[in-house]
Every structure is written in structure tokens, then in C-alpha cells.
Amino acid sequence: MTDPLPPQAAAPRTRSPWPVAIVVVLVIALISAAAGTGSTVPDGAVAPVSAPGDQRPNIVLFSSDDQRLDEMVFLPKVRALLGEHGLTMSEAITPHPLCCPARAEILTGQMAQNNGVRTNFPPQGGYAAFDPSSTIGTDLSQAGYNTAFLGKPLNGYDKSDGRDPGWTIFNATSHGYADYYDFTQFEQDRKVEVEGYYTDYLADKAVEYAGDLSDMDAPFFMWVSHFAPHPSKGRSGCHDASCKNGPPQLSPAYQAQERLLGRLPQQDEADRLAGEIIASPGYQERDRSDKPRLVRRQHGTSDGKVRRLVRARAGALASLDDAFARLAAQLRADGELANTYVVFITDNGYTLGEHSWFGKTLPYEQNLRMPMLVSGPGVAPGTTSDSPVSIVDLAATFLDVAGARSERRLDGVSMLPLWTGRSDRELHPGGMLIQGGPFKPETGPRGWLYRGVRTDRYTYARHDGGFVELYDRQRDPHEVASVAGKPAYAAVQRELARRASVLGRCSGPRSCNRDFGPLPRVR
């Protein structure tokens, strides 16, 4: 990847002769040996690997949280570093658009019916429902990669849960990230109380860990899991029952800029996007009789609140954009960038008043569509692929990069041939399963909130209780008028219902990505 940042943009690091992660492991090994335990690393930890002759590519996954696809306008550095110098997957989706299930899909390469995480909260979701013993971290560590996880884990993770297996470096947040300021990290087997801005902390640590991984002299995988632009905790402004939160918080630097200039970062771009949202046909949709009960009971909001929320989200993303640029500059300074697949994604999208809904989870384009940009060996610069792909495909792709296998039965398929231009074969010819679990046990069903299928033209969802939505996005891109129950679409609806039923029981790449043949024609 060609990095347009000047050389001085690389953040300086204070470096010891030994990488930090190696020092930690060696110290603990000496203590354990003195105690007679015979253990060489802490529970779940992976000793660093040194393999100077191993030239397999590195992999860096950089994720935002609750970011809409159209909010890429607030990330000019990401777009310059990856969009202009790499590949944009323009039809990527997150098929289970909620934080915890999406992260479980990234870690396992499996959909919720197979990884067990249906929602953010136990008993059907959260960290308590997740099995961390077999993930992309354990897969790649067993394949000879050094691995690092940094940032927001699955909801409900606590420091008492300890270190997840498979990670050479493990630094997960247990509390406080939802406020953006003052949080608790489980940082390399110790509790650390951090006073500061969450995005800035992750930016500093990502630079540090990238350098440590480079010094280990072996291929590496790192996931930097950010929280921005997720709503912050405990304020008004979000009507989704899954969040009930307020605008994200700005960094100290951007707060100072606002005080000095009287403007938020990227305010002009934010106002343009807010205007486009407010002018869209689906915004504050008045006739919601064709929408599920969750949507019908919403009361809407003011245009001014939407504009303020979009401005705040732009400000939070400005810090994330800076963090990404710093990490890319460090990879280049360490001589790693040219041999690294750098992937930018979000966990799920976010609805900002479309259909009078604020939040995620539901099967609308603002929630399902996600940015996916990649650069690395063999990826042509400035290219775009419109092949439908899914967040579930990431694990299979990373294993393909490493030439490795998993003990799990993966539901996704490798995107590497698409990334490198070796193939343009459609990976999901019959459409992709989309689904949502309950928000919380006390507010939703104990099974699925909805299940459905998304094809290149249609979005079908059958909700708990039997209510059906069907949108012909070719004729109705804003999903204003459901065609469920319309005679002209009866055959299409039956076939999509069949596909959703089959995919809802699938396991493995063949059964979860099958070709069902053409859909019935609609006149």
C-alpha cells in the first residue's frame, strides 16, 4: 500500500531493546518457574513467535462502531489511505446489525445460529454466551502468527473474565468506554484505570503494539476495535430501545478547536449529510403501517436534533480518522505496510430518523450496509468491487491470507480472490441471511426478533409474531413501501421465505452460501 502521509507523521515510540509483550511474558515465566508451577505464560496467553524467514502477509483489522456507510465522508484519511490506494467493497453488509453479534461473527466466521450470540445481553447474547476458546485469534496463533486485540470486546466482558485465549497481546476494555472518558482496561493481565479519551488511548496503544509486533519478526494479526461514533451513555437523543443514549463525545483537542473556532470538526460535511438524511423519502416516514410494531410506535424527533447528532458523530469520527492515519504511518515506518492487508470496517450501521427509527438491529439498509475498504499485497489501487460480501467472510479471508485452517466450521467464504483480482465469482449467489435477536430478554422475544434474506434486489424479513416486510430496492431504494402481500410479488415472497428458512438452519460455507437459482420475475 502506498501511504501518502509524510514520513514525520509516524508517531514516535519509546522503545526498549525487547518488545513490551515479550518482556511481560518472560517476567511472568521467571516468576512461575521460581514458584515451581512449570507454567511459561499466563492462562490463555500465547508466547511471542519469532520467524524471520516467514514472509506471509500481516493483517490489520480496524473497526468503528455504529457507523453508517454514508459517514465515510467524515473519514478523509481512511479514504485516501485505503479507498484511493486500495479496494472498496461497495456491497458489503453486516447481516446481524448489532454490536455483540457482529463482533462474534468477526471472531468466529460463523453466524449467530452457530456461534450462539444472538444479542447484546445474556442469556442469548453478550460475552457470557460466547466461547472465546476458538476464534480467529486462536486460529492464527496456531498458524504461527503473533496476534493482538485492542479495544472494545463483546458486550459484558469484565476484567474478571481474564485474558481471551489466542492473543499474544490482549488489551480489552471492561468498563467505561460508553462514556468515551475514564475507563478500565484489562491490559496484558493487569487492570488499568485510564483517565482520558477512549479513541486517543486506542490510537496510542495501536501504534505501540504495531511496533512491538513488528519487532517480534513474524507475521502478525491485529484487531483495533474502536467505539466511535457509537452514542454515548446516559443522555437523551436515541429512541432505539437498545441504546437510549446521546451524541458521542469529542476529544479534548476537538473540544478546544470548537471553543476556539466556534465550529465542530467537519461541520460543513455534517450539515450536508444531515440535510440529505432529512430530505430522503424514508425520513420521519408518516405512514408506517407496513412496518413492524417496534417502528410503528416511534414518535420521531426534530430536524435540529438530527443535525446536532450528525455533527457530534462527525467529530467523534474525526478522532478515529486521526487514529487510523497514525497507525498506517507507524506500519510504514516499521517497513510493514507493503506486506500488510489493512482492512477498515464497522460492526453495524445506524439509522438516523429513517422510518422514524434511531438505532440499529432492524433490517434496513442504513443498518445492514457497511464500509469495507482494504489494501495490501495484490490489491489494485483505486478499485471497487460490487460483489455482495459479508462481515462473516472476514475470518475465512484472514485464514486464506495466512494459508491456515480453523477447527470451527466456518459459514463465511474467503474474499481474497476478489481482493486480489484473481476471481470475480459471486460469493453469495442466493442472497445472504439477515437476522436480529431480542434487544434484551425482558423487552423482546426469546427467539429471534426477525429473520430474513437480502439479495441484490430484495430485502425480506419475517418478524416475531409473523409480520413480514419485503422491499424491492430496485424500485424503492429508500424502503418506504413494503410489497409484502402484494399479488405481483407473491412468488418472490414465497421463494425468499423458503431461502430464509433454509439459510436459517445452515452451517458451513456450502450450505450458507448456496445458489438457489433465479428469483421469479415481477412484471
pLDDT digits (tens, 9 = 90+) for 255-308: 999 999 988 889 999 999 999 999 999 999 989 999 999 899 888 788 999 999
Question: Are β-strands 169-175 and 146-151 bridged in parallel, bridged antiparallel, or unpaired?
Answer: parallel
Strand partners for 461: 452, 469
Looking at residue 240, the DSSP 8-state letter turns out to be -
Quote the CA–CA distance of 307 and 310 in Å, as a whole number: 5
Looking at residue 489, the DSSP 8-state letter turns out to be G
Quote the CA–CA distance of 316 and 318 in Å, as a whole number: 5
Name, in order, each residue with C-beta under 8 angstroms of 132's C-beta and a sequence gap of 6 or more. Answer: 107, 164, 165, 166
CA 136 to each of CA 56, 125, 240, 406, 466: distance values in angstroms, whole numbers, following the listed order: 16, 19, 31, 8, 36
Name, in order, each residue with C-beta under 8 angstroms of 95's C-beta and a sequence gap of 6 or more. Answer: 105, 111, 368, 390, 391, 392, 432, 433, 434, 435, 454
Query: Locate cell 474525526: which residue?
Result: 318
For 7-64, write each residue's pLDDT tens digit. Answer: 334 444 444 333 444 444 433 333 333 333 333 345 567 899 999 999 999 999 999 9
Other beta carbons within 10 angstroms of residue 20's beta carbon come to 16
For 76-134, write each residue's pLDDT tens digit. Answer: 999 999 999 999 999 999 999 999 999 999 999 999 999 999 999 888 999 999 999 99
**Amino acid identity of 130?**
F
Dihedral sign, Cα of residue 418, residue 423, residue 428, residue 429: positive
Burial class (CB in 10 A: 0-12, 13-18, 19+), 52: exposed
C-alpha cell at 291: 412496518
Quote the CA–CA distance of 321 and 32 in Å, as a whole number: 42
What's the rounded mean pLDDT across residues 174-196?
93
What's the rounded mean pLDDT across residues 414-435?
95
Quote the CA–CA distance of 246 and 242 in Å, as a whole number: 12
Other beta carbons within 10 angstroms of residue 41's beta carbon come to 18
pLDDT score at 33:
34
Quote the CA–CA distance of 456 and 445 in Å, as a whole number: 29
Degrees, nearest 5: CA angle 192-142-420: 100
Assess contact for 463 and 449: CB atoms under 8 A: yes
For 340-365, write each residue's pLDDT tens digit. Answer: 999 999 999 999 999 999 999 999 99
How large is the angle between the packed helices 303-333 and 198-215, nearest 10 degrees? 20
Tell me what percent of the residues of the chain surpass a pLDDT of 70: 88
Q: Report helix, strand or coil for 35.
A: coil
C-alpha cell at 187: 491490559
Burial class (CB in 10 A: 0-12, 13-18, 19+), 506: middle
Assess contact for 423 and 417: CB atoms under 8 A: yes
CATH node for 7-512: 3.40.720.10
For 395-405, write each residue's pLDDT tens digit. Answer: 999 999 999 99
The answer to which of 70-79, 123-132, 145-154, 373-382 has the lowest mean pLDDT is: 123-132
Quote the CA–CA distance of 42 and 179 in Å, as a whole number: 31
| Residue 327, pLDDT above cutoff 70 | yes
Q: Map 36-59 to HEC letters.
A: CCCCCCCCCECCCCCCCCCCCCEE
Alpha helix (H) ranges present in 280-403? 293-296, 303-333, 365-368, 393-402
